[in-house]
Structure 1
């Protein structure tokens, strides 16, 4: 079984997709993260049922993330 931090380290500078607690999906490039799974995502796009919009660089609190996967 993979250790979560090792998996996160392998995703640095790669495209990721994140599902948030409010069912919003964020897609972008994982720039960095910390021990609390707070993340900096660049070239971020927010995807909801109704729309898509570009956000640029975002800082995301880790406890808002339900799932993260590499695209």
Structure 2
């Protein structure tokens, strides 16, 4: 997965990539395919559990970047 594909996949999954500082986008762009897949899987699981965890969201600083 190249840099553009990685950022596009994260953006499509709902990560606010465009809103992140350039330094953070650079870190995300440098993820390996395995790291990207793991992050997307974690995001999917969190999204699937959303009704159960939504009530706790107010206590998270930065929303754990999801």
Shorter-chain TM range is: under 0.3
More strand by percentage: 1
- The higher relative CO (CA closer than 8 Å, separation ≥ 6) is in 2
Structure 1 or 2, whichever has the larger Rg, is: 2
More helix by percentage: 2
Q: What TM-score, normalized to structure 1? A: 0.26
